[in-house]
Amino acid sequence: MKGVFFFCILVLVSLEVVKADIIPNPTRGKGIVPGDSLKVRMVSEQVRVDLYKDHSEVECIFEMRNFDETEDVEVGFPMMEFYPWGMDLGNKDFRGNLHVWVDDEKVDAVEMYVPGDLKEIRREKDKNEEFRLFRQREKANKPWYVWKTKFPKDKTVWIKVTYTLPAYNDKRNHFFSYLLSTGAGWWGTIGKAVVEVTNHDIPKDEIIRISPSRYKKEGNKIVWKFKNLEPTIKDDIEIQYSPLVRKQEIKGLAWFVDGEPRSDGQFIRLNPQEIVTIEVRKDDPKYPSGVIYGFTKTYVFDSFRKSLQSRFPSVYRRLQQEDCKTFGERFEVQVDGRKGDVWKQLSDLKESQLSSVELQKGSEGRELIRIKLKK
């Protein structure tokens, strides 16, 4: 399964956003080799996707039932952040973006499995050769997030997965995909599946193709419903839409990261997971071709923390104990009663707007930063 979070480097490259079902025993071979004895069925799945031009946010709920003896099963999710160029999986841990619950209990022991040949490909210094090697092994085993789940005899187990990820690159177009076919490894059919995609900001005339064709539109939602599905690649969902900005439109642009000038190459090599916002402006006479500003999590976090130092010292001291790597996981932000993504909320704030900032108890063990703005 794949998802997206926040703004990636959208001005030079196309996007490919892919998500997929959970699968049993993902590390045994090319995709799914669950074993003959496994009799755990996916009774139902509900997938909700908030789709934007540059990112998506996903929640999946799977109803699983074991029709045989109790088994401990290795459950896997494709580790799709492996594929953006420039991410060295061998040295970085991206598990903070994946959240798993089994029967409402948070799963903390999520591991990473990466086939050895993929690690070797990652060491290839020629990026064109790296891309070619990836394409050669598209049908081979993929890297996975994996965790253990106990399926008691004749019992139902609920698995919830939420997943966010920056958009990553393809050579041509923008895509959103959900791979129902990876659910074929479970016993029997998928009893009932509903995939609901809410389109937030992609104009109708920019949507090129939606498949499979048996969907219904309900306002800004695109909905697929399946019963007793034996999933194949023909059932995989895909929405293709046009690029945000064409290559010919960006020639001569100026580039800034956290207020400092950068070359276009330096900008592109930024880790997409670190980018909070990208602004494109054409109203600065110094840059007649336009200027692109990128702001990172570190910059947004440090700026917010600095804005609290004189007026809200207790909150400032608390945040001095955190860094941006842990902040997004440990805190929630509420602005004038509205909760939203932590980084997006903070990136929109200005110090002059702040009326009050308080720390309170949040949900799921997090701390809540409650902010009120001046009227």
- pLDDT class for 40, splitting at 50, 70, 90? very high
Looking at per-residue pLDDT, the higher value among 171 and 278 belongs to 278
Which helix H or strand E contains 301, and what residues bound it?
helix 297-308
Q: What tens digit of pLDDT does each residue of 127-185 get?
A: 555 555 555 445 455 677 888 999 999 999 999 998 776 554 454 567 777 778 878 88
The structural domains of the chain, with segments of one domain joined by +, span 14-241
Q: Give this prediction's pTM.
A: 0.55
Q: Distance between CA 70 and CA 152 in Å, rounded?
A: 4
- Architecture of the structural domain at 14-241: Sandwich (2.60)
Q: What tens digit of pLDDT does each residue of 230-244 get?
A: 988 889 888 887 654
